[in-house]
Amino acid sequence: MAENAEKLKILICTGTGGLASGAAAVGDAFKAEFEKQGVEASVGKRCEVVGTGCRGLCANDVLVDVCVPGQEPVTYDFVTPELVPQIVAEHILAHEPVAKKVAGPYYHKFLEKQQRVIFSRCGTIDAESIEDFISHRGFTGVKKAVTMSQDEVIEEVKKSGLRGRGGGGFPTGVKWSFAKGSPGSEKYLICNADEGDPGAFMDRSVLEGDPYGLIEGMMIGAYAIGCTFAYVYVRAEYPLAIKRLQMAIDTCYELGYLGEKNVLGFPRPLDMRIKAGAGAFVCGEETALMASIEGERGMSRPRPPFPAVRGLWGKPTNINNVETFANVSYIFYNGADWYSSIGTEGTKGTKIFALTGKVKHTGLVEVPAGTTMKEVIYDVCGGILNNRKFKAVQAGGPSGGCLPTEALDAIVDYDSLIKAGAMMGSGGLVVMDETTCMVDIARFFLNFTRAESCGKCIPCRIGLKIMLEILERITQGNGREGDLELLEDMAYDIKKSSLCGLGQTAPNPVLSTLRYFRHEYEAHIKTGECPSHSCKPLLHFEVIEDACKKCGMCPKVCPVGAITWEKGTVAFIDKDICTECTSCYDACRFMAIK
């Protein structure tokens, strides 16, 4: 981008989050305003509006960077088209940033404890421009890799200590060496971008924000194992990701990085194709994913044989997650020693988390391994929404577990998270406060895994259903003595006897909530009360007089006008009008509605 350095630039966040908040309208407003003001003439330089990928702080979209040459870029948040004329007039024409609208100190705090390696290009470059990518060290990694032997490439990855970011944490270099060592001239490489975890969206951001970075990582992997055909299995719910990636692949074909021209000098040319998924969580499981590519139902099969020996169409296959491949590129830019200097003994490099739920600044966070959960939640993401009390953080999606306050000092590391009763998983972190019922959360996850089970093996298909029925009964106030023991028994049996990772991990949310929040289960069963006042069948929709601070928040949000309140009095809910929609309950900051 050297030739662009002199230009005035407007960078607008146009990830899914940004677009949903109106980034396109903001972009148009900038273009229109520049034309109207004749900015070209007055500034004397051309302005360009660049579509970048996701910056991570999705809650504050639309984020806009104004880069005036010779000055530090200024970031604005919550930008609307109406605000654009003011920014152009004051900041660009009069060189006086609109102080009130500049993103506050939390924005810098949000970035301070992070180490953005994989995200270093996301949000900085134009994701659709290969020139931008190349000017940010693009393809230097793969160019270096092809000068080395296949074994040297694998050795470099082993030395870096990179472990699979999809959740399992298997050393990537070792996995590659299995695929390389398997006999056969036809081998496949698959990138698993079937991000099905509810609450995780880091893969989507990489696909949307740095598609070429992923392709480069895959090229290095393909070279190392000696494969000539690579698939990217993307879930079809990500239309923008698919579009950008397809565009990137097409450009690579045009320029000869992929396909017959083979400008990188691979031993044999590499082909790459996108395979869109069709909405089945189990397809994140590698054997199910391969079945899906083959056009079958996405059902898993027992391993061994492992994909490295017999995978796609019976050929040796290597499968890695998006984030893993994205890491590979940086290992080859900076060397294995640099990479292994980041992180802890057992977990090298950085990890991306998707932080959502009841935190102030939801979004994507990239921290070096070894950071504590507490730092991530409180320092990076600003703590709990509405100043409520922290209750738990769910780590690792449906396969993970809930960590309570006591476990907040756990560090971000494969082994220490498992010790604490959760797992890294793909990296979804959902923060819960005192209004979240843990029994309901366990029910929620089980409902999800039960629905997504492929149904091939009995423990998963029937066992999860029975567990779900028990949990549903408990949340409806019909729990029985002995339910908890039964749940525990079944959970261990299902974990031991299921065919694939889905069933083996599905009972984890139940086990971890039973471990840390057993009292909540007991309250549901013994007294028929939900301690978090969250299970709807157990809610009375009454105002707790002692707790009510007479703030007048609840009548404002009630969509049917069932709440009467006057200044200085306790609110009253008219049960004849109330539709039990829980709006008031969610809005009350003092837990005064039960």
Partner 1 sequence: MTETAQQETVEEIDLTAANRVIDKYIDMHGSLMPVLQGIQEAYGYIPEETVHLTAERLNVYASQIYGVLTFYAQFHLQPRGKYIVRVCMGTACHVKGAGRIAETLKDRLGIEHAETTEDVKFTAEYVACIGACGMAPVIMVNDATYGSLTVQKMDDVIKKYQAMD
The residues binding partner 1 (CB under 8 A) are 16-17, 19-21, 57-59, 61, 195-201, 204, 236-239, 275-281, 292-298, 313, 354, 356-358, 362-363, 394, 397, 428, 430, 432, 436, 441, 444-445, 448, 452, 454, 536, 557, 559, 579, 581-583, 586
Beta bridge partners of 64: 12, 76
Evaluated on CA atoms 460, 462, 463, 469, the torsion sign reads positive
CB of 240 to partner 1, least distance (A): 10
Q: Which residue has the tokens 């837990």?
A: 591
CA neighbor of 56 nearest in space, from 25, 99, 16: 16
Q: Please, which residue, 91 or 165, has the CB nearer to partner 1?
A: 165
Nearer to partner 1, 152 or 294 (CB): 294
Q: Which is nearer to partner 1, 61 or 413 (CB)?
A: 61
Assign residue 335 a region (left: φ > 0; alpha: ψ between -120 and 50; beta: otherwise). Answer: left
C-alpha to C-alpha distance for 176 and 162, rounded to whole angstroms? 12
CB of 586 to partner 1, least distance (A): 6
Measure the CA–CA gap between 507 and 583, rounded to whole angstroms: 31
CB closer to partner 1 out of 392 and 490:
392
Instruction: Compute CA 324 distance to the chain's CA centroid, rounded to the nearest angstrom.
Output: 14
Min dist. Cβ of residue 127 to partner 1 (A): 16
Q: What's the rounded Cα separation, in Å, for the pair 177 and 576?
A: 68
Buried b (16+ CB within 10 A) or exposed e, 350-378: bbbbbbbbbbbbbbbbbbbbbbbbbbbbb
Residue listed under structure tokens 């309950």: 585
CB of 421 to partner 1, least distance (A): 17
Q: How far is the CB of 542 from partner 1 (least distance, A)?
A: 19
Closest CA to 89 of 47, 48, 33: 33
Q: Considering the complex, what minimum distance in angstroms separates the CB of residue 312 from partner 1? A: 9
Q: Give, as one character, the DSSP assignment of residue 384.
A: B
Question: Among residues 196 and 459, whose Cβ is nearest to partner 1?
Answer: 196
Instruction: Map 109-159 to HEC letters.
Output: HHHHCCCCCHHHCCCCCECCCHHHHHHCCCCHHHHHHHHCCHHHHHHHHHH
Distances (CA, A) of 172 to 167, 348, 374, 415: 12, 12, 28, 16
Q: Closest approach of Cβ 185 to partner 1, in Å?
A: 17
- Cβ neighbors of 479 (< 8 A, separation 6 or more) are 470, 473, 521, 524, 525
Burial of residue 466 (CB within 10 Å: 0-12, 13-18, 19+) is: middle
Choice between 104 and 314, CB closer to partner 1:
314
Tokens of 400: 């993970």
In angstroms, what is the minimal distance from the CB of 409 to partner 1?
Answer: 23
Q: Which is nearer to partner 1, 287 or 394 (CB)?
A: 394
CB of 322 to partner 1, least distance (A): 13
- For the CB of residue 201, give the shortest distance to partner 1 in the complex, in Å: 4
CA-nearest of 423, 417, 469, 477 to 446 is 469
Question: Measured from the CB atom, is 130 or 474 closer to partner 1?
Answer: 474
- Minimum CB separation from partner 1 for residue 113, in Å? 18
67/207 with CB nearer partner 1:
207
Nearer to partner 1 by Cβ, of 135 and 582: the residue is 582
Nearer to partner 1, 473 or 536 (CB): 536
CB of 440 to partner 1, least distance (A): 8
Block residue for tokens 């890799």:
145
**583: CB partners within 8 A, 6+ apart:** 557, 558, 559
Helix (H, G, I), strand (E, B) or coil at 13: strand
Q: Which is nearer to partner 1, 313 or 338 (CB)?
A: 313
Dist. CA 234–CA 196, nearest whole Å: 10
**387: enclosing H helix or E strand:** none
